[in-house]
Amino acid sequence: MSDKSDKEQKGQAEAVDAFATATAVGLAVASRTMEMWFGAMSGFARASREILAPHMEAQLKEEATPPAPKGEPAKDAGVVDFPTAKKARASAPAKAKAEASASAKRAPKPIERPATVDDLKQITGVGPKLEEVLNGFGVWTYAQIANLQAEELAWLDDVLGLNGRIATDKWLEQAQALGQAGMGKRDVAAG
């Protein structure tokens, strides 16, 4: 009886060893397969970026170039777009509105970076990123913001996609108050 139980135990141990070996081999194969798959996907992504990069740069440049003034041919004069009557009806009011709004907007006059710049983040609605963008447009001081004209405000609002937040957050009033408070501090420091 002991020979039979020893044989059974030995058989069970061999079965467990075989199962463990099969599991280890299966995991190794699965791991290797996943490595190959991730490597292939990584390669495809890199190749796609390299192939598409010139096209994306060209598209970005094309979108960044302003439209040709009236009377001058557009850059792609060889491309002919045959508008349908529906397109023409839909685009006519939009085109007129865009032309009217474009003429009513203009960029604020930029200035060189002054020796002391104001912390535009003190204005409600202006964070670090927006301050950077405003500085990029040559807007550095509260006085500049306080003296913006309506068409300059409209241009900034449109370009920055603020949807009326300049007026809602009362940038002009805040800039005036901050500028006056800053002048008072400068006068105290000078005296």
| pLDDT per residue as tens, the chain (191 positions) | 567 788 888 888 898 889 899 999 998 898 888 888 888 888 777 777 777 777 777 777 666 666 655 555 555 544 444 455 455 455 555 554 554 455 567 888 888 888 989 999 999 989 999 999 899 889 999 999 999 888 988 888 888 888 889 989 999 999 999 988 876 554 434 44
Q: For 46, what's the count of Cα atoms within 13 Å in the CB-facing half-sphere? A: 6
Which stretch of DSSP H or E encloses residue 68? none
Residue 108: enclosing H or E segment and its boundaries? none
Nearest to 139 by CA among 161, 164, 116, 112: 112
d(CA 165, CA 124): 10
Q: Give dist(CA 47, CA 53) in Å, integer.
A: 10
Q: Confirm if 178 and 130 have CB atoms less than 8 A apart.
A: no
Overall pTM > 0.75: no
